[in-house]
Amino acid sequence: MIEFKNVSMQFSDDRYAVQSVDLEIQKGEFFVLIGPSGSGKTTTLKMMNRLISSTEGEIYIKGQNVNDYDIYELRWDIGYVLQQIALFPHMTIEENIVVVPELKRWSRNEIRQRGRSTFFKVNLPFSMIRTFNH
Ligand SMILES: Nc1ncnc2c1ncn2[C@@H]1O[C@H](COP(=O)(O)OP(=O)(O)O)[C@@H](O)[C@H]1O
Ligand SMILES: [Mg+2]
């Protein structure tokens, strides 16, 4: 569960990117944030994994304040699809897929399994698994 309690991000004396947000997202819920450009969607998302700090209020993930998490562990557990491409061009597709399991020091076997199952999930041809992004 993700909870925002009276969360604001104030960037100057009288200007807020996000002001007094309260929300609760349940485990497994499909939650969509919709709003015009400049309404604070990106700031709201980035405050969840502390890419941007809130200036007021509290954010909890699984009952724990995001400020009390080890920042790396917090970020490794949050998937984030960027608008711009963000692959490591010097690494194979497989290596790109397993960046976080590598950082988390999963076993070789678990890493290989996850790389492959992810590949199959998105229907990429398996012959591409060791190819590069250029
Ligand atoms: N650090 C900042 N300094 C100045 N303005 C900011 C800053 N962060 C966000 N803003 C402004 O806050 C508003 C919300 O931004 P943003 O979260 O990117 O909106 P969205 O993703 O919904 O388009 C925008 O008007 C943006 O220009
Ligand atoms: Mg945005």
Q: Are 76 and 104 in contact (CB under 8 A)?
A: yes
Cα–Cα distance, 80 to 110 (Å, whole number): 22
| Other CB atoms within 10 A of residue 105 CB | 8
Q: Which of 8, 39, 43, 83 to mutate to test the pocket of ligand 1 (most atoms within 8 A of CB)?
A: 43
| Residues contacting ligand 1 via CB (< 6 Å) | 11, 17, 35, 37-43
Q: Find all residues with CB under 8 Å of 86, minimum gap 6, and list them.
A: none
Instruction: Give the pLDDT confidence score for residue 86 in this predicted structure.
Output: 80
For ligand 1, what atom is nearest to the CA of residue 43? Answer: 17
Per-residue pLDDT tens for 45-95? 999 999 999 999 999 999 999 999 999 999 999 988 877 778 888 999 999
The residue type at 84: Q
Q: Find all residues with CB under 8 Å of 80, minimum gap 6, and list them.
A: 45, 49
Assess whether pLDDT exceeds 70 at residue 99.
Answer: yes
Instruction: Give the pLDDT confidence score for residue 74 in this predicted structure.
Output: 94
Residue 75 CA, ligand 2 centroid: distance in Å: 19
Per-residue pLDDT tens for 29-44? 999 999 999 999 999 9
Of the bound ligands, which one is closest to the alpha carbon of residue 46? 1
Residue 37 CA, ligand 1 centroid: distance in Å: 9
The band of 133, judged by pLDDT with boundaries at 50, 70 and 90, is: low
Assess whether pLDDT exceeds 80 at residue 7.
Answer: yes
> Mean pLDDT over residues 94-98, rounded?
93
DSSP 23-61: EEE-TT--------TTSSHHHHHHHHTTSS--SEEEEEE
> Mean pLDDT over residues 119-130, rounded?
89
Q: How far is CA 36 from the centre of its chain?
A: 21
Per-residue pLDDT tens for 18-29? 999 999 999 999
Q: What residue owns the CA closest to ligand 1's atom 10?
A: 17
Instruction: Give the pLDDT confidence score for residue 134 in this predicted structure.
Output: 59
